[in-house]
Amino acid sequence: MLTLFIRAIILYIALVAFTRAMGKRQLGQFQPYEFVMTMLIADLVAVPMSDVSTPLLHGLLPVAGMFIVHSLITLLSMRSDRMRSFLSGKPSVIISRGIWQQAEMQRLCLTFSDVLEGLHAAGILDPTEVETAIVEANGSISAFQRAALRPASAQDMRVETAYQGPPLMLIMDGRLQTGSLAAGHLSASWLTGLLAAHRLTAERVFFCSLDTRGLMTVQDRSGAVTQLQALDPAEVTW
């Protein structure tokens, strides 16, 4: 039993390493060749994980082979548009100018219900509001409302906007995030001084974030939220 336990841990660590090496994109969306590879890897690992008489290398070597093949295919796809089109397919327009493209839906084996499900996932309830819908190469549906129904943007209203980037998480669950502080060219003493002015310590803070407007949001462990202008927007460097 202990042998099975140890073999499972080894194979698990190996699979995590291979998955990380393949890149983050594979974690969220699969191309057809990636889906096939995932199915094969699951089968290849299942036997040596459950059968002690099968050497571990009989599971690790085929997985390593799949990783090499995947890397070559990915490289070819990046270098050649034709190869990428052959392996992954192309996006297909299924609604154009508000008109449903029935022939294209039949070619993709998509029913009306399938498309409605994709529209709902995109936040659109009424299909008559859709101007364009596209089936992406990974099978997901991207839908866009008619221009007249889209929310007005700052550009439409001719409003000047300042830069807005991702906020820095300076404290998470009472722990200072040194990487975020370094990214913002901030010091731990600067942060603890600000917190001390509000009678707080890092250990008592559940999270603390700083956005690109210089606005800091602090929530302590009791749930109380405090916002303060910690930096001038001109001092923001990330």
Tell me how many domains the chain contains. Answer: 3
Is residue 123 situated within a structural domain? yes
Is residue 157 situated within a structural domain? no
User: Is residue 219 over pLDDT 70?
Assistant: yes
**7 CB contacts (<8 Å, ≥6 apart)?**
48, 49, 52, 56
Query: In a 3-state reduction of DSSP, which class is residue 125?
Result: coil
Is residue 79 situated within a structural domain? yes
Higher pLDDT, 230 or 80: 230
Is residue 191 situated within a structural domain? yes
Q: Are residues 48 and 75 in the same domain?
A: yes
Q: Are residues 11 and 80 in the same domain?
A: yes
**Residue 62, number of CB atoms within 10 A of its CB:** 16
Higher pLDDT, 5 or 217: 217
CA distances from 144 to 94, 120, 127, 141, 157 (A): 12, 12, 10, 10, 20
Q: Which residues pair with 96 in a beta bridge?
A: 99, 132
Is residue 156 situated within a structural domain? no
Position 29 scores a pLDDT of 61
Burial class (CB in 10 A: 0-12, 13-18, 19+), 111: exposed
Q: Contact at 8 Å (CB) between 83 and 77? A: yes
pLDDT tens digits for 76-132? Answer: 878 887 877 777 778 899 999 999 999 999 999 899 999 999 999 988 999 999 999
pLDDT tens digits for 120-164? Answer: 998 899 999 999 999 987 788 999 999 888 888 888 888 888 788
Is residue 154 situated within a structural domain? no
Is residue 161 situated within a structural domain? no
Residue whose token pair is 């571990």: 56
pLDDT tens digits for 192-211? Answer: 999 999 899 999 999 999 99
Q: Check which CATH number belongs to the domain holding 205 and give it.
A: 3.30.240.20
Is residue 159 situated within a structural domain? no
Show the domain range for 207: 168-235
Query: In a 3-state reduction of DSSP, which class is residue 85?
Result: helix
Q: Which of residues 107, 122, 149 is at a domain's end?
A: 149
